Chains A and B, each alone.
Chain A
Amino acid sequence: MSMISADECSAIVDTFGRLLTDFHGEPELRKAMASDEGYDKRLWREMGALGLTALLIDPAYGGIGGGAVELGLLMEEAGAYLLCSPFIASSVIAASFVSHSSDENAKQRLLPLIAAGSIATVAITGDAGLWTAESVEVLAEEVDGKTTLSGTASYVLHSTNSEILLVLATGENGVGLYEVNPLDDGIDNSRLAVNDPTLCVGRITFDEVQANEIFGFGAAELNESMDIARIALAAESAGGARKIFDITIDYIANRYQFGRPIGGFQALKHMAADLLIEVENSKSVARNAAEAYADDTTGAAAAISLASFYSTDSFFEVAAKAIQMHGGIAFTMEYVAHLYWRRSRTNLHLFGTSDFYREQYLQALEESV
């Protein structure tokens, strides 16, 4: 449930849009993605100061009590600017993992820190990258009343930037959520080489690392918490699709060949019309998923699965065709199109493939009979 009014929400979205315009244009983006940390530190501080990092957190723990709808609108903006930041890792995933637990101590200790902009992340999946309880490859062992974690977690968002490190691990009672000290000697945390320079992920191995359990978090909470991340990714994809589409239309309307704008040729006009459908479709599915989650409707599971494959597929379709429509200029590193294309390919795989979510979608429809 959101505690933010519609007016407050559009004020937040406007503020974020202005912040991105001022602090996260293409030069700043390129600087951030080439930096050692892999994110824009100045922007992150500003986001913290404006309370954006506190969006999903309950006011009782220092947050502003926003919900999925507000998050989606912010993520559309983020997608348009290829936001290079730990926002999803910390403000979305870590915040909702802790919030979904029933551990009052952990909430009181961790949520205010996350709200204020400490970078938190959750190590979730193993090398299979499936983001489900079955794919967890870290084991929790209890010896003499002390818990230690051993195993491997991969594709951990901003693992090397994390000040708060949460880990999903399988113990005697199934999957649970744990907190470890990111500086523990038993931790080997290294950033992975990736194709999308705006993406920062790492692989962590744990060797008998001391851990504290965050109580009241299991497979059901994992799925619910991941749903909010899926909504964020769908909205980001919708925003990215819209932006690279607009960039492309502007380019073909102003690029002259054969004595006229290339956008006057049907070969490109027809591609553009087809892509407009994808742009609108991705926005519709992303918003529908956010609303269904916020309203907790019976169709929410189907809506989130639908958004999870359709918006990412659309983003890829638009970004891939955008390069083709531009021609040679977009085959250069200097031009921005490939960054959208890379992000779209990231989103196709980050939280599970489109094929996986199509299957989930159909199962949800079958169960609704």
Chain B
Amino acid sequence: MNISDQSQSHETLRSEVKQWLNVNWSPAFKNDKPSWFRKVVDAGFAVPTWSKKWFGRELDQETAKIISDEFSRIGAPGSAQDNKHLGAITVYHSGSEQLKSDLLYSMLTGGSACLLYSEPGAGSDLAGLRTKAVVDGDDYVINGQKIWTSAATIATYGMLLARTDWDAPKHKGLSFFILPMKQDGIDIRPIHQINGDSTFNEVFITDARLPAKYVVGELNEGWKVLSQALEHERLVMSQGLTEKKKSRGKDSAQELIALAGRSNNIRDPLVRQRVAQTIAYRQIHRLNMARVKTETSRPNKASLLAIAKLSMSRVQHSEGTLRANILGASGLLDGDLFPDSKDAHYYAAGGYVNSIGGGTDQIQRNIIAERVLGLPRELEVDRSIPFKDVKTGAKRV
């Protein structure tokens, strides 16, 4: 297809989406999301990059973006789930045909999914997790505790990583399941976070059940499925989607300049240096993400994608630090009477969501060094011994 054909077909698609939204969308659907989501899925707008067999249109990312752009322009939900719905993405990429037909439609029409990976004793060392799945007839029975689960209370499904073989080495005894969340035996408690939000939860699982056919991929091959799922998650995080909307916008630079103006130190040369440097970090992050699209070599693309989440940590932490820096003494204040101060604290603490969540910056550096730069792997003393003999958590003598 040459360029003019392509832009022609882009315009055709854009007007199709516009017209469809014109006819179908009404803000009233905000109170009836399931009906709206069904329409979106049936029209092929929910997951346009997927195969036609599974509700898609087989479009490339760039073309698919036309659809999500038109949706977000009028504030209609439900598009670009092939970029955002980690549960559906995982089932689509790693699940059997049977599992897809059991779950995908339900997931895409409002059945959101939460992540049940981390445990209090298994954070960076995720493969050391101890939540147990045991076969009982046609079901698995699940027992254990998960943590750092966002949107747990509204989720229909949980993406669960649990141990199914305690005699195998740590990575080889894990399985990936879809756990129905609305059942007895699942107790959700919010975590009080240092940024004041409670977006994450602890999930206590006691004799909860899931159908045996809800295993994603092969039994005891859960680590492979997880690795794919994590890659998608890091991609989502690297786009800054864990941030408040206003800091993501094109105007975060102007917002910082305005803050320095309100604080009467925009003429201070030292402040100006810091503002410029901090703005540069976010702008360059954008340029890197834009370059992913134009780089033709695979290793070049992979390199850019691998550094994205780590580089986003610097963006967010330096903005948090800068805000406090600009405020000076009024950075001591907090609360609704001092909105600039309140924001500064919120951003300063919020940076940790990106730099710890989804794999700490330190784990991320190991991954970059090993997978992109080809440096030797970390020594893993527990890699090839049966998991039941591995020490985990805090063990003081």
Residues of A participating in the B interface, judged by any CB pair closer than 8 Å: 249, 252-253, 260-261, 263-264, 266, 268-270, 272-274, 276-277, 280-281, 283-285, 287-288, 306, 309-310, 355, 358-359, 361-362, 365-366, 369
Task: Tell me the interface secondary structure of chain A in the complex.
Answer: helix
- With both beta carbons as reference points, the residue of chain A lying nearest to B374 in the complex is identified as A253
Out of A269, A274, A369, name the residue touching B370 (CB < 8 Å): A269
A269-B276 in contact (CB<8A): no
14 additional contacts (CB under 8 A) given A264-B377, A362-B272: A253-B373, A261-B376, A266-B362, A266-B365, A270-B366, A272-B369, A272-B373, A272-B375, A276-B306, A284-B291, A285-B284, A287-B291, A358-B280, A362-B275
Q: How far is the CA of A150 from the CA of B148 in the complex (A)?
A: 72
Whether A277 contacts B287 in the complex (CB less than 8 A), given A261-B375, A359-B269, comes out as: no
Given A280-B307, A284-B287, A358-B277: A274 and B257 within 8 A (CB)? no
Contacts of A287 in B (CB 8 A): 291
Looking at the assembled complex, report how far the CB atom of B269 sits from the nearest CB atom of chain A, in whole angstroms: 7
A260 to B275, CA, bound (A): 43
Question: In whole angstroms, how far apart are the Cα atoms of A172 and B283 in the complex?
Answer: 42
B63 contacts partner chain A, Cβ-Cβ < 8 Å: no
B238 to A: closest C-beta gap in Å: 12
Q: Residue-by-residue, is B350-369 near A (CB-CB < 8 Å gives 1, otherwise 0)?
A: 00000000000010111011
How long is the Cα–Cα vector from A310 to B287 in the complex, in angstroms? 13
Say whether, besides A253-B375, A273-B368, A365-B253, A281 and B275 are in contact (CB < 8 Å).
no
Asked whether, in the complex, the Cβ of A359 is within 8 Å of the Cβ of B276, the reply is yes
- Give chain A nearest CB distance to B353 CB in angstroms: 19
Kindly provide the distance from the CB of A60 to the nearest chain B CB, expressed in whole angstroms: 30
Assembled-state Cα–Cα distance A260/B284 (Å): 36
- Least CB distance from A112 to B in Å reads 35
Q: In the complex the two chains form, is A266's CB within 8 Å of B366's CB?
A: yes
Are A310 and B254 CB-contacts (below 8 A) given A276-B307, A276-B372?
no
User: A274 to B254, alpha carbons, bound, how many Å?
Assistant: 27
Main DSSP-derived SS at the B contact region: helix
Please indicate the chain B residues that have their CB under 8 angstroms from the CB of A281 in the complex. 284, 288, 311
Question: Which residues 28-60 of B have a CB within 8 angstroms of A?
Answer: none
Q: In the bound complex, how far is the Cα of B276 from the Cα of A253, in angstroms?
A: 36
* Contact B375 A288, beta carbon cutoff 8 Å: no
Residues 305-333 of B, flagged 1 when their CB comes within 8 A of A and 0 if not, give: 01100110010000000000000000000
Q: Which 10 A-B pairs rank lowest in CB-CB distance, beginning with the nearest?
A: A264-B376, A269-B369, A273-B365, A358-B276, A273-B368, A284-B287, A263-B375, A362-B276, A270-B365, A281-B284
Question: In the complex, what's the smallest C-beta–C-beta distance from A271 to chain B, in angstroms?
Answer: 9
Specify the chain A residue showing the minimal Cβ separation from B277.
Answer: A358
Q: With a CB–CB cut-off of 8 A, which chain A residues contact B378?
A: 264, 266
B310 & A273 in contact (Cβ 8 Å cutoff): yes
| Cα(A287)–Cα(B287), bound, Å | 9
Contact present for B370 and A276 (CB under 8 Å):
no
Q: Report how far A366 CA is from B132 CA in the complex, Å.
A: 57
Q: CB-CB < 8 A to B376: which residues of A?
A: 253, 260-261, 263-264
B368:A276 contact, CB within 8 angstroms: yes
Tell me if B276 and A361 are in contact (CB < 8 A): yes
By a CB distance below 8 angstroms, the chain A residues around B269 are 359
Cα–Cα, bound, A269→B376 (Å): 9
Contacts of B307 in A (CB 8 A): 273, 276-277, 280
B273 touches A358 (CB 8 A): yes
Is the beta-carbon distance between A280 and B304 smaller than 8 angstroms? yes
Residue in A253, A261, A284 with the greatest tally of chain B CB atoms within 10 Å: A284
B279 is an interface residue with CB less than 8 A from chain A: yes
The answer to the question of B9 belonging to the interface, with a C-beta cut-off of 8 Å to chain A, is: no
